[in-house]
């Protein structure tokens, strides 16, 4: 925990940015690096009946850490993707889903 799910970012790019991204997020989120999960999701985007290109989309599932931390996390993720793609103006969507600790189980016990 937290879980970061990457869509419309190639696998090799997610792999390449993963170490520095967790390095940057770990102190901000006050979370040990071994608790981070990064997932690459292969997707196909469709618009008006046709396959379409999409810009990078990152979903963050986490225990809420407040608006200030959320804003900083979104900025770090956006900058990491832009740097990896070498496209400083790349549109990047970051969407947060706050999980409830009592509904999150690890080895049969909730947080």
Residues 71, 77: Cα–Cα separation, whole Å: 10
pLDDT tens digits, residue range 3-56? 999 999 999 999 999 999 999 999 999 999 999 999 999 999 999 999 999 999
73-111 tens-digit pLDDT: 999 999 999 999 999 999 999 999 999 989 989 899 998
Nearest to 7 by CA among 39, 48, 36: 39
In a domain, 50, yes or no: no
pTM listed for this prediction: 0.93
CATH number, domain at 36? 3.30.429.10
- The total number of structural domains in the chain stands at 1
Looking at the domain assignment, is residue 76 inside a domain?
A: yes
In the predicted structure, residue 1 carries a pLDDT above the cut 90 = no
The pLDDT of residue 78 is 98
Report pLDDT digits (tens) over 44-73: 999 999 999 999 999 999 999 999 999 999
- pLDDT at residue number 111: 87
| DSSP 3-state percent helix, strand, coil across the chain (nearest 5) | 40, 30, 30
Nearest Cα to Cα of residue 10 among 55, 61, 52, 50? 55
The DSSP letter of residue 35 is G
Structure tokens at 55: 């810009």
Please indicate, yes or no, if residue 65 is contained in any of the structural domains.
yes
| 49 within domain boundaries | no
Residue 10 is part of which domain span?
Answer: 2-44+55-106
């Amino acid at each position: 925990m937290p879980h970061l799910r990457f869509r419309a970012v190639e696998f090799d790019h997610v792999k390449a940015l993963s170490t520095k991204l967790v390095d940057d997020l770990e102190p901000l989120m006050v979370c040990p690096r071994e608790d981070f999960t990064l997932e690459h999701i292969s997707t196909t985007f469709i618009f008006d009946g046709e396959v379409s290109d999409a810009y990078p989309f990152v979903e963050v599932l986490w225990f809420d850490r407040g608006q200030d931390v959320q804003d900083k996390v979104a900025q770090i993720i956006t900058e990491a993707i832009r740097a990896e793609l070498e496209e400083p103006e790349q549109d990047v969507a970051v969407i947060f889903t706050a999980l409830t600790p009592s509904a999150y189980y690890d080895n049969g016990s909730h947080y």
